[in-house]
């Protein structure tokens, strides 16, 4: 929780908070995020997010790891009617990006524009995207994909 908040007239420091803290850790300043996963010590298979047992060999010798923030587009689908509660643009592109660890991570492609053709195999990097705000004014953010090199 935010311990910087003070009473009176002092400005309240707000933070950027991950909506999926077990899968995505956001830096103190909110500018960068790290995808989190697990790796089986037996068969070396990596997974997105925490897991107690290896989903391949069922071993419980699983350790938490940081995943790469960059991967290649494996598949995508266009969403023309978003699920209820969606506040982003419509239509939007939902994609699976495969990381070097062999893990596929599904999220929105933030810089896709309607009508644009997507190319399987092109590079994407994970970015921190604000999706809302909590009652204390903190920014809630999720991981999404952006074309590699599209921001500097």
Q: From 9-17, 41-49, 71-79, 105-113, give the range in contact with Zn ion by CB under 5 A.
A: 41-49
Supply the DSSP string of 66-106, one letter for each residue.
EPPSEEEEEEEEEESSPPTT--S-SSEEEEEEE-TTS-EEE
**Which of the stretches 1-9, 44-52, 72-80, 111-119 binds Zn ion when contact is defined by CB under 5 A?**
44-52
Number of residues that bind Zn ion (CB under 5 A): 8
| Count of C-beta atoms within a 10 Å radius of residue 121 | 8
Least distance (Å) from Zn ion to the CB of residue 99? 17
Inter-residue contact 33 to 126 (CB < 8 Å): yes
Question: Quick check: 96 binds Zn ion (CB under 5 A)?
Answer: no
Closest separation between CB of residue 62 and Zn ion, Å?
8
Binding piece for Zn ion, criterion CB under 5 A, among 45-53, 68-76, 87-95, 102-110: 45-53
Q: Which of residues 47-76 bind Zn ion (CB under 5 A)?
A: 54, 56-57, 59
Applying CB under 5 A, which part among 20-28, 33-41, 94-102, 144-152 lies near Zn ion? 33-41
The span from the CA of 67 to the CA of 86, in Å, is: 27
Q: Which of 40, 93, 105, 126 binds Zn ion (CB under 5 A)?
A: 40
Asked if 79 and 90 touch (Cβ cutoff 8 Å), the reply is yes
Q: Where are the beta strands (DSSP E) in the chain?
A: 16-18, 24-26, 33-40, 46-48, 62-66, 70-79, 92-98, 104-108, 123-133, 139-147
- Residue 125, interface with Zn ion (CB under 5 A)? no
Token pair of 96 as six digits: 């699976």
Binding site for Zn ion (CB under 5 A): 40, 42-43, 45, 54, 56-57, 59
């Amino acid at each position: 929780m935010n311990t910087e908040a003070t009473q009176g007239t002092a400005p309240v420091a707000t933070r950027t908070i991950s909506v999926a803290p077990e899968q995505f850790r956001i830096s103190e300043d909110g500018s960068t995020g790290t995808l989190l996963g697990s790796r089986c010590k037996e068969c070396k298979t990596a997974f997105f997010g925490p897991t107690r047992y290896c989903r391949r060999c069922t071993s419980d010798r699983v350790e938490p790891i940081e995943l790469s923030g960059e991967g290649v587009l494996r598949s995508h689908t266009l969403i023309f009617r978003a699920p209820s509660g969606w506040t982003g643009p419509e239509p939007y592109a939902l994609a699976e990006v495969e990381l070097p660890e062999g893990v596929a991570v599904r999220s929105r492609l933030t810089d896709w524009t309607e009508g644009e053709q997507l190319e399987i195999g092109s590079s994407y990097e994970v970015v921190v995207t604000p999706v809302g705000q909590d009652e204390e004014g903190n920014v809630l953010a999720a991981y999404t994909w952006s074309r590699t090199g599209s921001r500097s």
